[in-house]
């Protein structure tokens, strides 16, 4: 078996979807292991655009089994909406080609409501979440009061579990000035959707164990990015799951030693959507240019993404946190019109030079970036698929990034299209 993990190295939206889709040509399984429909992964195949939130990016390939692992928080209504959308684009999704782990946490409308209520009340302390209910759903999971997909098959038990959950939520809702939950209606809604979802619900760990024994190729699809990780990110401005590659084990039931390769997806500059510190942020016309040229609008919320220079300190740390064997460098073409490019090579904090991202948000806010300047290439790289065709300045930019982060770029992306990629080394032989 060959296990390859794909994770986001910055603050998400690095282009994970494009590469999961591209590499899925050699995969037997594509597996999501964390997050939920806060993710927005864009795939472009021969001009046709697919936008996926909860569905693994293997769903557009024939012969790939898509798996949603136990580490995900699962919104069944969102799931069916997405299935319908993707089916309207000509794909067929059914319990033979898509499976969801029995022990996956159910995300309910009350989680989305609580997420939105909290954000409204937090005002200037808001996180800037996607309001998909991710935080509240993970809280209920860790608080041991969540409903799991396996509970849908046991009506009396489901009712008991829902009562527990509703009692907990009602206290919080009251404090936030919201109405009490209509428990009867919610129970009826869950029962109805439960019937539709149960055929997809399987012991995923066992399916993956069998796949391992049969030497299958398994691609693990990360969502979000390392600096949104609940432990390693810019806390509290993070999501509520571990996004790093290690969670591909716990979030699916795959034993350790499963990852032969870890590909970190890295944007050739930096973006962030939502609140929180951003050391190399450009709040000037250069930032605006990157946003416009890179179409930097959130796939899920359509919010503008904040843009900034490439931060090698962040990326080098992320390479270590994920155990990246190589990186995939995306959106090189977005830099085509730049006169010159800056790379952040170190931080100054309280007069001292440091080469890591300090955990404290207070320190992160006070960092002064140290930059190195490289010449731009002022010519188009859009759609280039061979390295020799890249201008020398672009090759030098990539080389410098590799030196600073300590691993090679095995793939380089020059457009949203699946095949517009310079392939130096593919993870599945």
List of residues contacting ligand IMO (CB under 6 A): 8, 11-13, 38-41, 127-130, 132, 134-135, 223-225, 228, 239-240, 273-274, 299
Name which of 160, 151, 136 is nearest 104 in CA terms. Answer: 151
In the block, tokens 């034993």 appear at 255
CB 287 within 8 A of CB 320: no
| Residue closer to ligand IMO, measured from CB, 127 or 405 | 127
45 binds ligand GDP (CB under 6 A): no
| Residue closer to ligand GDP, measured from CB, 166 or 334 | 334
Q: Degrees (nearest 5) of the Cα angle 19, 374, 398?
A: 25
How far apart CA 194 and CA 19 sit, in angstroms, is 32
Classified as helix, coil or strand, 421 is strand
Cβ of 131: how many Cβ atoms within 10 Å?
A: 20
How far apart CA 184 and CA 162 sit, in angstroms, is 10
Write out the catalytic residue numbers: 13, 41
Which of the ranges 12-20, 79-87, 135-143, 208-216 carries the binding residues for Mg ion, by CB under 5 A?
12-20
User: In whole angstroms, how close is the CB of 51 to ligand GDP at the nearest point?
Assistant: 8
Site for ligand GDP in 118-177 (CB under 6 A): none
List the beta bridge partners of residue 409: 327
User: In whole angstroms, how close is the CB of 293 to ligand GDP at the nearest point?
Assistant: 8
Annotate each residue in 122-161 with x if it binds Mg ion (CB under 5 A) or - if it does not, as one string: ----------------------------------------
32 binds ligand GDP (CB under 6 A): no
CB 328 within 8 A of CB 222: no
Which option in ligand IMO, Mg ion, ligand GDP, none does residue 333 bind, with CB closer than 5 to 8 A by kind? ligand GDP
| Residue closer to ligand IMO, measured from CB, 151 or 296 | 296
Classified as helix, coil or strand, 235 is coil
User: In whole angstroms, how close is the CB of 204 to ligand GDP at the nearest point?
Assistant: 22
How far apart CA 293 and CA 328 sit, in angstroms, is 20
User: In whole angstroms, how close is the CB of 192 to ligand GDP at the nearest point?
Assistant: 31
CB 218 within 8 A of CB 31: yes
CB 400 within 8 A of CB 384: no
| Residue closer to Mg ion, measured from CB, 239 or 252 | 239
Q: Which residues of 62-89 are buried (b: 16+ CB within 10 A; e: fewer)?
A: eebbbbbbbbbbbbbebbeebbeebeee
13 binds Mg ion (CB under 5 A): yes
Give the pair of three-digit tokens for residue 230.
């609940």
Site for ligand GDP in 283-342 (CB under 6 A): 295, 299, 330-331, 333-334
Task: Name which position in 15, 69, 78, 135 contacts ligand GDP (CB under 6 A).
Answer: 15
| Residue closer to ligand IMO, measured from CB, 130 or 421 | 130
Which H or E run includes 407?
A: none
| Residue closer to ligand GDP, measured from CB, 122 or 423 | 423
Task: Name which position in 234, 240, 299, 312 contacts Mg ion (CB under 5 A).
Answer: 299
Q: List residues near ligand GDP by CB under 6 A.
A: 8, 12-18, 40-42, 44, 295, 299, 330-331, 333-334, 413-416
């Amino acid at each position: 078996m060959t296990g390859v993990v794909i994770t986001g190295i910055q603050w998400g939206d690095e282009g994970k979807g494009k590469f999961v889709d591209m590499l899925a040509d050699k995969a037997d399984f594509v597996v999501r292991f964390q997050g939920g429909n806060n993710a927005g992964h864009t795939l472009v195949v021969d001009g046709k655009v697919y936008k996926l939130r909860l569905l693994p990016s293997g769903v557009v390939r024939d012969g790939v089994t898509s798996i949603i692992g136990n580490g995900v928080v699962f919104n069944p209504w969102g799931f069916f909406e997405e299935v319908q959308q993707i089916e309207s684009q000509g794909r067929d999704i059914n319990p033979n080609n898509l499976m969801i782990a029995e022990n996956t946490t159910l995300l309910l409308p009350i989680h989305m409501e609580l997420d939105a209520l909290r954000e409204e009340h937090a005002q200037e302390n808001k996180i800037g979440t996607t309001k998909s209910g991710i935080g509240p759903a993970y809280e209920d999971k860790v608080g041991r009061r969540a409903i799991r997909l396996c509970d849908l098959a046991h009506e009396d038990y489901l009712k008991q579990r829902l009562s527990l959950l509703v009692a907990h939520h009602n206290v919080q809702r009251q404090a936030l000035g919201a109405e009490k939950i209509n428990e009867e209606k919610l129970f009826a809604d869950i029962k109805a959707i439960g019937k539709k979802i149960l055929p997809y619900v399987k012991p995923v760990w066992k399916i993956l164990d069998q796949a391992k024994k049969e030497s299958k190729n398994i691609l693990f699809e990360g969502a979000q990015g390392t600096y949104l990780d609940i432990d390693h990110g810019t806390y509290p401005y993070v999501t509520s799951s571990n996004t790093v590659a290690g969670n591909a084990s716990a979030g699916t039931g795959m034993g350790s030693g499963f990852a032969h390769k870890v590909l970190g997806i890295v944007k050739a500059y930096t973006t962030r959507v939502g609140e929180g510190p951003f050391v190399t942020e450009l709040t000037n016309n250069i930032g605006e240019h990157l946003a416009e040229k890179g179409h930097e609008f959130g796939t899920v919320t359509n919010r503008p993404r904040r843009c900034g220079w490439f931060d090698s300190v962040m990326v080098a740390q992320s390479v270590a946190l994920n155990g990246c064997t190589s990186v995939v460098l995306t959106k090189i073409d977005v830099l085509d019109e730049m006169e010159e490019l800056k790379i952040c090579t170190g931080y100054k904090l309280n007069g001292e030079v440091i080469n890591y991202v300090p955990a404290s948000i207070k320190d992160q806010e006070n960092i002064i970036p140290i930059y190195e300047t490289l010449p731009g290439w002022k010519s188009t790289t859009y759609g280039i698929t061979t390295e020799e065709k890249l201008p020398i300045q672009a090759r030098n930019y990539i080389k410098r990034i590799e030196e600073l982060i300590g691993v090679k770029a095995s793939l380089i992306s020059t457009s949203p299209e699946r095949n517009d990629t310079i392939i130096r080394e593919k993870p599945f032989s």
